[in-house]
Amino acid sequence: MSTKLSGPRSTRTSGRGPVGSGLPRTVRSHVPITATGLVVKVVLLGLVAGIAIWAAFPLVEAGKWVGLALLAATTAGLFYLYLTPRHIPAKYLLPGTVFLIAFQVFPVLYTASTAFTNFGDGHRGSKDDAIVAIQSSSVQQVPGSTEYTLSVASEGDPVTGPLVFLVTDPATGAVSAGDAGGLRRLDAADVTVAPGGKVTAADGYTVLTFGQASTRSQEITDLVVPTAGGALRSSGLSRAYEGRAIRAYDAGCDCITDRESGRTWTADEKAGSFVAADGERLAQGWKVNVGGENFSRVLTDPNISGPFFGTLLWNFAFATGSTGLTFLLGMAIALALHSPRMRGTNLYRVLLILPYAMPSFAMLLVWRDMFNTDFGLINNLFGLGVDWFGQDWSARATVLLVQLWLGYPYMFLVATGALQAIPRELTEATSVDGASPWQSFRAVTLPLLLVALAPLLIASFAYNFNNINAIWLTTEGGPFPADNPRNGATDLLITYTYRLAFGAQGAEFGTAAAVSIFIFAIVATVSAISFRSTRKQEEVYS
């Protein structure tokens, strides 16, 4: 008995692969790779090796040994995985997993980590960076300070590239390149110096013409090059001086002292700023962990919580209205064209999906101009003088109308597909039982449509909840109240967050990241509840 049982089991496990594979394991493990596959494998693994070597040098230079070990282990693991015939599923799953981590998980984690800091304008770097910035910005020319012949250059494009000072020492004739990181001595063979000491060419740099330098005069004036004795600043476009910092850092008191006035600003490690006794803070600070302060501000600070909760209500109304109205209109048109009595349905369908075929950003700009108060088509066509974007509710109604026009073709297409999948026998059976068309639609067609389209409606709600283009390209969040230029009547949380992060009043990346976490939590919660309801509905109608 034992011999009969063990024979087949041994043959099955050693001679064949998993059930349904169709080939013995010994055959599948020796399937020859094609020439094209071999070339692709060599190229991709060579690319992986090249990227690993390229990334290793900065890690070694910075002494990041943990990162270097992780890089080496990851590279070795990739080579092992793709050079051996084993672990077939992992070969296909790994690329998707890597992209998921790189483009989904990592951005979310980075945003979450930023939400617990004061990262923003004035708090971008370390404390040492803040000290250097404070001292450099207070540099003034003093009697007897050294003056240098100056040439303004850039690294790369002369219009947008980082600026660099090329200065010639009047005593030695040595040429140095200076930027915010300090001065670097240049090799005499790499520069061309005209009589008088002005640099006319330098390897790796583009010397700006007078016209190019004039267009960037403010950047040139603001550029400060730290030196051992103070800092280097420009005096016009052809001269530079090495001045002395009026404000200096004293490690003994951990403070900044103004040498002229004697005023001091003591370091506040919790706030990441130098603060005077009367509460005044220097503009340059440093990045620190502030715990849940940003989340607390969003919920309790009247300047943020008021706009936040008001915007949240409108955000729900906009997402619900955009999704619901487009679904109702798209479904109504799909039902009309689904009727067997309709003729020319293909032509109607082509015409109806035209808004979906056009670039949405262009259409949003067109609609914005159509609602213009002075020359817009809407006012001129109907003889109106309505300031559509000047009043809260008219602006909100306008963006919902624009979204209806842009979004209904998508709902029309998916509803048409879902209707064609519903057997006509079901609706015919209700007619035989004496049900009216409305009763048949409400009892059979609509529930089956919702089962098929519920995931798409949830996705559409999540998309519209963060639909920055719909607002930014039409109203830019306005109209704005006179006392709050940071939050308008049509602002969504995403546009409010964008204005916090990149607004003219100063970037607040930490606070913006906290609002982003709230948005993520809201959308995730609504989606989870909706999907649970959808599953229950599927169980009822399955």
Contact between 190 and 202 under an 8 Å Cβ cutoff? The reply is: yes
Q: Do 226 and 320 have their domain in common?
A: no
Q: What is the DSSP annotation of 3-49?
A: HHHHHHHHHHHHHS-STT--S-HHHHTTPPPPHHHHHHHHHHHHHHH
In a domain, 469, yes or no: yes
Query: What's the domain count of the chain?
Result: 2
Q: Do 318 and 444 have their domain in common?
A: yes
Nearest CA-CA partner of 239 in 152, 306, 315: 152
| Residue 346: per-residue pLDDT | 86
Nearest CA-CA partner of 285 in 273, 267, 276, 293: 273
Q: Do 333 and 459 have their domain in common?
A: yes
Contact between 49 and 75 under an 8 Å Cβ cutoff? The reply is: yes
For residue 136, the number of C-alpha atoms closer than 13 Å in the C-beta half-sphere is 23
In a domain, 238, yes or no: yes
For residues 468 and 412, give the distance between their C-alpha atoms in angstroms, rounded to a whole number: 23
For residues 368 and 364, give the distance between their C-alpha atoms in angstroms, rounded to a whole number: 6
Q: Do 353 and 480 have their domain in common?
A: yes
Q: Do 343 and 418 have their domain in common?
A: yes
Q: Do 310 and 446 have their domain in common?
A: yes
Q: Do 394 and 530 have their domain in common?
A: yes
In a domain, 376, yes or no: yes
In a domain, 463, yes or no: yes
Q: Do 234 and 356 have their domain in common?
A: no
Q: Do 325 and 412 have their domain in common?
A: yes
| Residue 8: per-residue pLDDT | 43
Domain boundary among 198, 224, 245: 245
| Residue 535: per-residue pLDDT | 78
| Residue 345: per-residue pLDDT | 86
In a domain, 185, yes or no: yes
| Residue 17: per-residue pLDDT | 46
Q: Do 521 and 415 have their domain in common?
A: yes
The CATH number of the domain holding residue 137 is 2.40.430.10
| Residue 49: per-residue pLDDT | 93
| Residue 537: per-residue pLDDT | 66
| Residue 154: per-residue pLDDT | 95
In a domain, 81, yes or no: no
Domain boundary among 230, 245, 260: 245
The CATH number of the domain holding residue 363 is 1.10.3720.10
Domain of residue 155, residue span:
133-245
Average pLDDT of each block of 10 consecutive residues along the chain (542 residues)?
Answer: 43 45 47 77 91 92 90 92 88 90 91 95 92 86 85 92 93 91 91 91 93 92 84 89 89 93 94 95 95 93 87 96 96 91 86 87 93 92 92 95 95 93 84 84 89 92 95 94 87 93 83 94 91 74 60
Q: Do 463 and 367 have their domain in common?
A: yes
In a domain, 399, yes or no: yes
In a domain, 112, yes or no: no
For residues 55 and 59, give the distance between their C-alpha atoms in angstroms, rounded to a whole number: 7
